[in-house]
Homo-oligomer: A and B are copies of this chain.
Amino acid sequence: METKPQEQTRKPRADAVRNRERVLHAAKLVFSAGGPDASLEAVARQAGVGIGTLYRHFPTREDLFEAVYRREVEQLSELAEELKSEPSPVEALRRWLRSTVQFVATKKGMMAALAIVMTANSELAAYSHGHLTRSIGALLARAVEAGEVRADVTADDLLRALIGMCYMHDQTGWQQSVLRLLDVFVDGLRVGKGRAREA
Contact = CB atoms under 8 A, between A and B. Distances in A.
Interface string A113-134: 0010011110000000000000
Contact of A188 (B2, B119, B167, B188): B188
A180 interface: yes
A7 interface: no
Interface in A1-18: 2, 15
A167 B170 contact: no
Nearest to A163: B168
Interface residues of A, number: 46
Stoichiometry (number of copies) = 4
Tell me the dominant secondary structure on chain A's binding face: helix
Interface in A162-177: 163-168, 170-171, 174, 177
Contact of A168 (B152, B164, B194): B164
A188 B97 CA distance: 16
Nearest to A177: B157
A11 to B, nearest CB: 15
Most chain B beta carbons < 10 A, residue from A154, A167, A190, A197: A167
Interface string A38-49: 000000000000
A190 B190 contact: no
Interface of A: 2, 15, 37, 91, 94, 115, 118-121, 150, 152-154, 156-157, 160-161, 163-168, 170-171, 174, 177-178, 180-181, 183-190, 192-198
Rank and list the top 6 A-B pairs by shortest CB-CB distance, nearest first. A164-B164, A188-B188, A164-B165, A184-B188, A187-B188, A193-B193
19 contacts: A2-B15, A37-B37, A91-B198, A94-B197, A115-B167, A120-B170, A121-B170, A156-B171, A157-B177, A157-B180, A160-B165, A160-B168, A161-B164, A167-B167, A186-B197, A187-B194, A187-B197, A188-B193, A193-B194
